Structure 1
């Protein structure tokens, strides 16, 4: 079971056409990487593209998470948290934002999840203090 991302724009409002196109293209890349390569190779690629050049602004990162969720809603195949979070990570990394791609879980009830963190805080995730997410992998 995976946990859905919070930012779910119905019509893509607040997301410009260039960001929509980039999100769709990077979602296709994220799906291809995750289907064709083992996770360790995907993590190595994610670490390679991470080039923080400027301080993180949470509002900008939220736009990229929203764009990734928008693209995931329009993808004809499976685009759950793993694919969408990698898409958001790639968008942020290519634009120079310093974010982390996290994969982890929570217990009771058990659920696996992937998300983006900016300044060590999850972006676009529900605030559930009684059932926190535990990071297993951070890139």
Structure 2
């Protein structure tokens, strides 16, 4: 039975942490958290041991698909966080990347943020995340450049009528740094209880504008390999 294994569809990001699966459907931008029993059923189906009604339903929906070999589950042993918020991330950025961007830089940052907010309403997150992954290696941004771009985005976000949180900010920062020849990847992590998702930008595996303990402590979502 060459197709007895299952894998998550390409648009599904997942993490298996503490015996529970968390999924992000990047087409509908929805998270799903499965309890231990449901997670065990899905892991058994993915690894070819047993196909439960839950797994069959996810196959019918397209969330799970047949695979020729056993996929590698994205397992996380991160410690987790307590009550981390986007406002805490903003305070960290403002404190560690202080700069005085010009009015022109703030305007450009505002236009980029507005564009990202528009795209998130019209284009699937899967498409945006896929396009955000650049080269495997990139030159690190100059500190002065990073400081100006982060501060310009923070200032511009105050004047925009659309919601700007970690995802919008990270995608916009990726685009702003790309103009300087820096290729970054937007990462998403979760904590399960109470549930929280957080996005940030990395270059060469290093987070930009984020406390290191945050990205180490969150369970990172990944696509099936």
Query: TM-score, structure 1 length as denominator?
Result: 0.76
Which structure is higher in RCO with an 8 Å CA cutoff and minimum separation 6? Answer: 1
Structure-1 separation of matches of 2:136 and 2:205: 14
Q: Which residue of 2 aligns with 1:27?
A: 113
- Structure 2: runs of 5 or more not aligned: 1-82
Q: Say yes or no: does 1:89 pair with 2:171.
A: no
Q: Distance in 2 between matches of 1:61 and 1:52?
A: 19
Structure 1: distance between partners of 2:108 and 2:136: 19
**Aligned-partner Cα distance in 2 for 1:137–1:65:** 26
CA contact (8 A) 2:190 2:197 kept: yes
Partner of 1:65: 150
Q: 2:125 aligns with which of 36, 39, 43?
A: 39
Bigger CA drift: 127-136 or 15-24? 127-136
1:34 CA drift (Å): 0.5
Report the TM-score when normalising by structure 2.
0.50
Instruction: Say which one has the larger Rg.
Output: 2
Q: Which has the higher strand share?
A: 2
Residue correspondences, number: 134
The CA RMSD over aligned residues, in Å, is: 3.1
